[in-house]
Amino acid sequence: MANQYDLAIIGSGPGGYRAAVLGALRGLKVAIVEKDTWGGCCLNRGCVPKKDWHHTARILAASEGFAERGIRGSLEPDLEAAWDHQKAVVEEVRGNYTDYMKRLGIAAHVGHGTLVDAHTVRVSGDGGESDLTADHLILATGSHARIPEGITPESGRILTTDMLFDERPPEGRRVALAGGGVIGTELAWILTRLGCEVTWLMGTKPLRGAGFTPQALRTLEAALSREGVKAQTDRRLAGARVTDNGVTVELADGATEEVDWLLLGTGRVPHTAGLEPAAAGVEVDGDGFITTGADLRTAAGHIFAIGDVRTPIMTANQALADATTAVDNIVTGSARETPEKRVPWAVYSAVELARVGMDDDTAEDEGWEPAVGFAAFETSPRALGQGDAEGHVRLLADMDEGTLLGTEIVGDEAAELIHLAALAPDPDTALRLLAGGPWNHPTRGEELGNAAETMAAQWGMGEFVFPEE
């Protein structure tokens, strides 16, 4: 039957797209349903355009050291051109995605997907309604911006991050940015570098509860403050009024700020509007997340949920890992758990911060004896040559067993370097692997080897760091 599939996926963000590709590569007949722009939040309004701007911001920041390197001239930011650049990159990537889906024979259905029963999805779009059925379903409907009570988004004035990347830059460069989470921490710096004057409003200090060490957060704070970006704590957004000249931002303490536009970085919520999970026997929790087991099966065992719609972790990294687990479990019939503790995480701001595995508190709570291996980039020949020597590599390992428990990297390319720890095949031998190399020299990566070696010198853990006799 034309509309009968082995696997139907609702949502084409990183989770849904990756699941579709993996399903097709593993021999399944796959359909994917998307109601909006192919590629979801990450490609169109999240990771990809944000990272494009982060790169531009880094070039502008680096240009301040150009004169002492013997390079003359200065650079000026241009937000309009930067917006065009991210859009061109996003469109090119989207074209590559949709071409690849076509080549793999994945059936792309445009329209809003609603669950009719445990095996049927109704697709409603411009072309009317059609039903498709599948043996297995994956729900990958993602999340949308959380709008604080009393605030109404308005084009060019009160923006979600979706609007920031969908619509051309608003007039004016005085921006209030609400939220001290990841979005706030990244965009406060990026927009400043792109020529905006950012008033950054939040309750508590940025990235609290995100698992980074106090040392990492101090490095971030110093880098931000060097560039004139100040986190204004105890200044929660309470309301916003659009005026003839911009926006009057109202704060919980009664103060106001006059700006040209306001950007909301106030969290995201799982998206299940119009999905009708209950019609298929799928359960949703009190916060709106679809409930699954660690193997990503919902209460209806043949239906899986992945990515932002199932977990407050809400990163593309986790959505991609979930897709791999869900398709694996569908194809093999097994119950493998999605690897939450092994998925790395990164924040792209005035410095990059990345981590994988446990933080100190979790390690202690789980009964490990954590020891720290540390290497600072300030002595790395490569980092000194780059003129970018702040930050560190910090390894956390169990003193008695030598097991690598967690890794934190702060500094240039932290998000790339963290893969070296995330991909270590066995945490029990990871320290030996890192210390032994081989490494390219001079590189930033070899600091992971140096950090492992300090475990031997400082904690007497040589038996776990050097080759066995």
Ligand X SMILES: Cc1cc2nc3c(=O)[nH]c(=O)nc-3n(C[C@H](O)[C@H](O)[C@H](O)COP(=O)(O)OP(=O)(O)OC[C@H]3O[C@@H](n4cnc5c(N)ncnc54)[C@H](O)[C@@H]3O)c2cc1C
Ligand Y SMILES: NC(=O)c1ccc[n+]([C@@H]2O[C@H](COP(=O)([O-])OP(=O)(O)OC[C@H]3O[C@@H](n4cnc5c(N)ncnc54)[C@H](O)[C@@H]3O)[C@@H](O)[C@H]2O)c1
- Quick one: which of 190, 227, 200, 173 has its CA closest to 86? 190
- The reply to whether 302 sits near ligand X by the rule CB under 6 A is no
**Residue 202 binding ligand Y, by CB under 6 A:** yes
Nearest distance from C-beta of residue 348 to ligand X, angstroms: 6
User: Where do runs of H (alpha helix) occur along 26-118?
Assistant: 40-45, 47-62, 66-69, 79-103
Q: 441 catalytic, yes or no?
A: yes
Binding track, positions 351-370, relative to ligand X; x by CB under 6 A: --------------------
At its nearest, how many Å lie between ligand X and the CB of residue 143? Answer: 5
CA distance 464 to 388: 31
125 is in an annotated binding site: no
Q: Using DSSP, state whether 86 is helix, strand or coil.
A: helix
- The Cα–Cα gap between 392 and 212 comes to 12
Query: Which one among 183, 280, 424, 448 touches ligand Y, defined by CB under 6 A?
Result: 183
Q: Does 274 bind ligand X (CB under 6 A)?
A: yes
* Residue of minimal Cβ distance to ligand X: 142
Binding mask 303-322 for ligand Y (x = CB under 6 A): -----------xx-------
Angle at 119 between CA 116 and CA 122, to 5 degrees: 40
| Binds ligand Y (CB under 6 A): choice among 122, 268, 310, 432 | 268
Residues 308-327 that bind ligand X (CB under 6 A): 308-309, 314-317, 319
In order of 213, 332, 338, 414, the CA distances from 206 in angstroms are 13, 42, 28, 19
Q: Which residues contact 122 (CB under 8 A, 6 or more apart)?
A: 113, 114, 115, 116, 129, 130, 131
Phi, psi at 263, each rounded to 5°: -115, 130
Q: Rule CB under 6 A: say whether 201 interacts with ligand Y.
A: yes
Peptide bond into 442 cis (omega under 30): yes
| CB-based burial label for 171 (10 Å; 0-12, 13-18, 19+) | exposed
Determine if 47 is a binding residue for ligand X (CB under 6 A). Answer: yes
Q: Does the footprint of ligand Y cover residue 181 (CB under 6 A)?
A: yes
Report whether 113 belongs to an annotated binding site.
Answer: yes
The annotation status of 391 as a binding-site residue, yes or no, is no
Q: Evaluate whether 207 touches 350 at the Cβ level (below 8 Å).
A: no
Q: Is 219 annotated as a binding residue?
A: no
- 50 belongs to an annotated ligand binding site: no
Positions touching ligand Y (CB under 6 A) are 148, 178-184, 186, 201-203, 236-237, 265-268, 314-315, 346-348
Q: Please list the active-site residues.
A: 441
Positions touching ligand X (CB under 6 A) are 10-16, 33-36, 40-42, 46-47, 50-51, 112-113, 140-143, 161, 183, 271, 274-275, 307-309, 314-317, 319
